[in-house]
Structure 1
Amino acid sequence: MKTTLQPIDANTLDRDLQHSAMIKLEGHFHSLATGASQAPLQSLDSHLRSEIQDAQVLDYHDRLIAGAGPLFSHFLASVPYILEELARVGVALTRLAHANRNDTCQTFSLFEVDAFDGSNGRALTGHSHGLIRSLTCSPNQANQFAFDQYADPALSLFLPQSVFKPTPALLQSPELEQFREGFDFIYEMAAFQFYTRDRARQISHIKQFLKPGGLVFFLEKLNHPDPSEYLRRERIKDEEFKTRYFSEEEIHWKRQQMLEHMQNGQVTLDELVGALSSRFKTVQLLWSSSNFCELVASDDPEQIKQFVDLLGPVVQPSEFCFEATRIGSMAPSSSGGKEPSDA
């Protein structure tokens, strides 16, 4: 049975925001978003480019890099092979939109949850030639500079606020009229972990913006029941990937100063699957890299099947995928079905 929860109310929202890592790290995020600190040391162009056989994925890859602002560039350099994964998913979404289009006037919509400067949403609108329109929110107002520099305002819009500020009524405003019926696709860009562990209410909040049968994606850095395994995956991420882009000093500083705040909001994979399974008919794990996982959920199993059938191959060294045996349809384990508690 699906659990129906009310959206986060104003009091809960204010409490969560004021005590969240999103606020505590506000100065750090501003520094990253303006390029003042921790900019990648070299080009983000994929070192696995020769393994990408699909010309459409290469086009998406190039759009992502060309339009990336400072904070999104830092993100691409911090999460192993997320660049290649976002390109794979973006191409599949474009093909899904084309396959489901009923007439030449129909367009589709993407809501990016706290997604930096909207780099991925803008890449999707460009790659789909406007077939998919995007709305990005971010509580870091410095991200708007990069967004405004690269965005086509007819195709992509930006809300300089946390995802927990908008309500469905906001979509009825003249500025957001094109999204008044909700979104075909929603993508949470590693955002919830910076608030609390209350995935139940977080998921319920964004689901109210999703059209019936729409697809919602969750990219999250997850905790692990075994702390030593969590740290092992972190070391591989830092030593085998991040050293391409950051100095040892920068990696150490981030580990000590930033990740301790972020980890307070992380949940395990089973906890996330449990929260999703109580709110959606179908949940699938699409991708795993170090402690990061990407899942898709929907109340329309056929829509997920159609999307997955359009996905090209993962482009990533196998040693970074620690959840390979769990890729595909998921159900909560006996321990993972419990609702995560608020931190």
Structure 2
Amino acid sequence: MRGLDDFLAECDRGPRINELKGFFAATAAGQSGMPIRRPSVDTRLLPSDALLRGLVGLHAARQGFFDQHYHGSIPYRLEEECRMAYAVLKYARYRQTPLSLYSLGTAEGTMARTLSELSSGKIRSLSCSPNAENYKCFMAYGEPPDADFFVGPFHRLTKDVLSSDVRLAKFASGFDLILEDTTFQMYSPNRAKQIEFVSQHLKEGGIFVFVEKFRAVDDNDYARREWQKDFGFKARYFPQDEIEKKKAAVLTTMFNNEVTLQEMSRAVGTHFNHCVMTWNSGNFCSLAASNSRENLNLYLSQMGDPAIPNEYVYEAELHRSLTDYVAAMQQK
């Protein structure tokens, strides 16, 4: 990777491990930011399926402190995480060899751990977080089979680290699926270099999934969706003063590192031939990218309909090429 030293230095200056470090540590330890009630999946929005019910149940049992904060903050993100995990679980069953999953930024790695436990060896996962508090939650239920955890920021998990660590060496050949969950936006808006760095770990034909908060073309649209999130959803879990406190302490900083879907499309398109949107909730979207149309389509075919009320959905044309989608938006 060209300019690696400059990129690593840029990440080292990122808010996630500097000015926001205290917020993430305290929340991951359960010392602050806890919802007044624990978020739970609205099963009415998901298919009635025994495998999915088992996944939802185990996922709920494995959640740590930060997950409770996170899922109480983004409308129907918990349902989407279970929908996504269900698709990965079914996708892995089509493979001849175990699927390797890298989940960066998913706090205590609940989804990755749940998948490894349920898959009976078909999914081997690695989660990543700078916070030792998240690792403590990850290990709270014992050492999981086929699931590992790297304590450190994503940019410090290099190929050399993977190959030199006996515990992680099995991932040195790369991952079949990588999930970036609201991580890049905590460091910088440099999506091109962030994607380039992490893509070094993706196997040929692998799938890269991005869950991010995006800037809107119209600032007023962005603000209205934020109000809807705060007053229509977050108010179920957090007092209004805590919502305002987080907005001042965290969200303003995060906003400076968000990008538009157009900017994301250009960054993703530098590395991948195919990219589609799979989920939208207010200003949040999930994208899936790959250089293998066959693998991407197989993964997409395992996904049920998004488990979210229509009033939170503003980007309804799912599974359409992101490039085509952005072009259509520019013509409006």
Instruction: Give the TM-score taking structure 2 as reference length.
Output: 0.93
The DSSP-based 3-state class of the residue aligned with 2:52 is helix
Q: Which amino acid aligns with 1:232?
A: R
Alignment of 1:58-69 (within 5 A): 58-69=53-64
1:246-265 counterparts in 2 under 5 A? Answer: 246-265=238-257
The code of the aligned residue for 2:29 comes to T
Question: Are residue 128 (structure 1) and residue 105 (structure 2) matched?
Answer: no
Q: Find the partner of 2:229 among 237, 243, 252.
A: 237
CA RMSD between the two structures = 1.9
- Evaluate the alpha carbon distance shift between residue 21 and residue 146 of structure 1 in structure 2; reply closer, same or farther with a 3 A threshold: closer
The structural deviation recorded for 1:335 is 11
Deviation at 1:99, TM superposition (A): 1.1
1:239-261 CA-to-partner distances (Å, cap 9, x unmatched) read 11111111111111111221011
**What is residue 168 of structure 1 aligned with on the other side?**
159
Matches within 5 A, 1:295-306: 295-306=287-298
| 3-state SS of 1:175 partner | coil
2:308 corresponds to: 316
Q: CA deviation at 1:58?
A: 2.3
Q: How does 1:48-197 map to 2 (within 5 A)?
A: 48-52=42-46, 53-101=48-96, 106-150=97-141, 152-173=143-164, 174-197=166-189
Q: How far does residue 49 in structure 1 lie from its aligned partner after superposition? A: 1.4
In the alignment, is the contact (CA less than 8 A) between 1:122 and 1:151 conserved in 2? Answer: no
Tell me the equivalent position of 2:212.
Answer: 220
Which sections of structure 2, spanning at least 5 residues, go unmatched? none
Residue in 1 that maps onto 2:33: 38
- Rounded Cα–Cα distance in structure 1 between residues aligned with 2:214 and 2:2: 23
The superposition leaves residues 28-56 of structure 1 with CA deviations (integer Å, 9 ceiling, x where unpaired) of 1111001011111112212x213322332
Offset at 1:326?
Answer: 5.2
**Where in structure 1 do 4 or more consecutive aligned residues deviate above 4 Å?**
334-337
Label 1:180 to 1:15 Cα distance change in 2 as closer, same or farther (>3 A): closer
Amino acid at match of 2:157: P
User: Distance between the aligned counterparts of 1:83 and 1:248, measured in 2?
Assistant: 21
Counterpart of 2:265 (choices 265, 273, 278) is: 273
Query: How far does residue 264 in structure 1 lie from its aligned partner after superposition?
Result: 0.8
Distance 2:230 2:158 in 1: 38
1:199 to 180, 191, 197: 191
TM-aligned CA deviation for residue 329 of structure 1? 2.1
Letter in 1 for 2:43: R
Q: How many residues align?
A: 327
SS of structure 1 residue aligned to 2:257? coil
Distance 2:14 2:313 in 1: 33
Asked if 2 retains the 8 angstrom alpha-carbon contact of 1:8 and 1:164, the reply is no
| Residue identity matched to 2:209 | F
CA spacing shift, 1:7–1:188, aligned 2, 3 Å? farther
The yes-or-no answer on 1:20 pairing with 2:4 is: no
Report how far residue 22 of structure 1 moved: 3.7
Aligned partners of 2:38 and 2:68 also within 8 Å: no
Q: Output one character per residue of 1:274-302: Cα deviation in whole Å (capped at 9) or x when no partner.
A: 21112101001000001100000001011
Instruction: Please report how far the alpha carbon of residue 143 of structure 1 lies from its aligned counterpart in structure 2 after TM superposition.
Output: 1.0
Q: TM (normalized to structure 1)? A: 0.90
Deviation at 1:19, TM superposition (A): 4.3
SS in 1 for 2:154: coil
Identity across the alignment (%): 32
Distance in 1 between residues matched to 2:188 and 2:232, nearest whole Å: 29
